[in-house]
Chains A and B, each alone.
Chain A
Amino acid sequence: MSLTENKILTIEGRGIPLEGNDIDTDQVVPARFLKEITFKNMGDYLFYDARFDEDGKAKAHPLNDSKFKGGKFLVVQENFGCGSSREHAAQAIKRYGIKAVIGISFSEIFSGNCKSLGIPIVQLDKDQIAKIAHALTDDPTVMCALNIENETFKVGTKIFFFSMAPTLKASLVGGTWDALTLLQNNDQKTNRLDASLPY
């Protein structure tokens, strides 16, 4: 894939609000579902134990609510994605069809995994997230629009301004969110660093 194809500039779609702080990656994908050597089924396991009881019966959860079906933005609260480094969590979100995650704060490793997969992470303050979640609950059909370059998130006619780390913005807008090529381009410098280390 060329870099142009990888560029992430704008995303449009509906949103899914999720309650609760400190949603850990064990909740995003429980450990028993990690016993697979590919990521291909991960979308099926997203928030599994919060969505289904032990007999597999659906529980009340936004992802089980037909009103939110097909939503592209997941709107979360504080410290989302804490705990385990499992990329399975970000993979599950992506494979489920979520294109961006909007929230108050995110764990470091989870954010890194989202960047690697080209899932924009957008941070807004508590009041703004509350307003967005409220708007989505009131009207699940409301259209949202994320513009990375302008750093805006629109919910219907209401515009929210966010500030994105310049490195993340550059990676998404430039299509280099998977840094492999950038790292490969520095191969000679990497060799020199290897030779310079005392171990």
Chain B
Amino acid sequence: MSKNTLYDKVWDKHKVDTLPTGQDHLFIGLHLIHEVTTPQAFSMMEETGATVKFPHRTFATTDHIIPTQAQERPFADSKAESMMQALENNVKKYGIKYFDFKSGKQGIVHVVGPELGLTRPGMTIVCGDSHTSTHGAFGALAFGIGTTEVRHVLETQSLALNRLKVRKINVTGDIPKGVYAKDIILAIIQVLGVNGGIGYAYEFNGEVIHRLSMEERMTICNMSIEGGARIGYINPDDVTYDYLKGREFAPKGEAFDKAVDYWKSIASDNDAEYDDVVNIDGSKLEPMVTWGTTPAQSIGVSGKIPSLESFSEDDRPVLSKALAYMDVKEGQFIKGLPIDVAFIGSCTNSRISDLREAAKVLKGKKVNVKTLVVPGSQSVRSQAQKEGLDKIFTEAGAEWRFAGCSMCLAMNPDRLKGTQRCVSTSNRNFMGRQGSPTGRTLLMSPASVAASAIEGKVADIRESY
């Protein structure tokens, strides 16, 4: 069992009790909500007349169903409009702070929480969304929950949970040019598998991780869940504290210094004990791209799609199904595969640094396929416009949209048609994920997606420099 890790320290600090079932009763410090996974929880509360225990610990925004072109109300999609209205009514009725369009702070919940300074080290953070693991980048225990659990948090500010094991993943060496945070996490998932993290929290550590910016760290932790780990985190350091200083909801003045003392105290000790340790040599990595229908089915962009023979007999039926779905063949080079759409956005890669990397590649070039650039929040959008990135995108022929989840899961009008093949900075290449039941997704970094959009086929970003 792990000892003196950040996971252990933060868990113990938030443990209310052991429940009669043997589960731990865990206090939740920050609860983030959005329109898709909460209306059913509020309806159940309405039936019993329950109230929200600590309304000041819950914050709302809206992201999944947001149209990224025409945002006038009522929305053209009446179902989206009714979800929006349900959220608006609920936050009003229960006194929950809500970042709506007018606030200028609306956006993807996992982009908004960090940029407002709501997300801080040493917290327990939940949201009815599996990518809540993103917030672990700050050294918080952050994880996705279901709607019944959303209700538990609203009514009791706590959850019944089992403690996880802790796996330390050390990434060392110097990462080569063209390799981004997205490539690092795709490589980790490829090594450990999509189910390798079941029962574990992942601690990302090592010099490569601690050299990353906060936004890059968020990309890493965001995709922990794609490796089966409900929680991924990084010990806080000076990069974390510098990022938080001056943010709207971060402590100010003396209170900030006091907070830093707490944040330092919850980092894993040097002699902390782990249930498992995995080492990854960062210097061997290359830009990654997925070829199949799970985030672990990936290869380096210069590589060939693996042959079925290289897998165990048990795995082959699933793999050949993935090959058929993606319309690719074993032994085929992935580079040069024609694409129809490029998507830059999602809670994985829609922050300002992601857009800057994409803009660097697109500057003065033209895209050859339909390309959507969807900022993660209204703040990211206005910052990008201040820097003139929107001009770079539109001059390259890409579409510059309003903030939301967009074509990551296509609950808004942005979606693939038929069997279109899309290079995407999002997190899931599942069958049908981008809105067409036969659509195909290839996951990549923002720079790689931009380079591929220019060529109209899967491209190696290293050849663009």
Contacts and interface: CB of A to CB of B under 8 A. Distances in A.
A38 interface: yes
A79 B430 contact: no
Contacts, number: 202
Contacts of A85: 37, 128-130, 132, 144-146
A91 B43 CA distance: 15
A90 B27 CA distance: 25
A178 B157 CA distance: 15
Contacts of A37: 39-40, 43, 82-83, 86
Contact of A186 (B16, B29, B151, B294): B16
Instruction: Give the contact-size bracket for chain A.
Output: 35 or more
A143 to B, nearest CB: 29
B307 interface: no
Contact of B194 (A32, A79, A113): A79
Q: Which of B25, B53, B65, B160 has the most CB of A within 10 A?
A: B160
B147 interface: yes
Contact of B130 (A20, A106, A109, A182): A109
A190 B27 contact: yes
A138 interface: no
A125 B297 CA distance: 24
Interface residues of B, number: 80
B411 interface: yes
A199 B40 contact: no
B411 A187 contact: no
A149 to B, nearest CB: 15
A116 B159 CA distance: 11
A125 to B, nearest CB: 13
B195 interface: yes
A58 interface: no
B158 interface: yes
A140 interface: no
B428 interface: yes
Contacts of B147: 39, 87
Interface in B14-67: 14, 16-17, 19-23, 25, 27, 29, 36-37, 39-40, 43, 53-54, 64-65
A83 B426 CA distance: 13
Given A26-B433, A108-B199, A31 B156 contact: no
Interface in B187-203: 194-195, 198-199
14 contacts: A20-B317, A27-B430, A31-B435, A37-B43, A86-B37, A176-B20, A179-B19, A182-B19, A183-B19, A190-B156, A197-B27, A198-B259, A199-B122, A199-B259
Per CB-CB distance, the 6 closest pairs between chain A and chain B, nearest first, are A179-B160, A87-B146, A85-B144, A116-B148, A113-B146, A79-B195
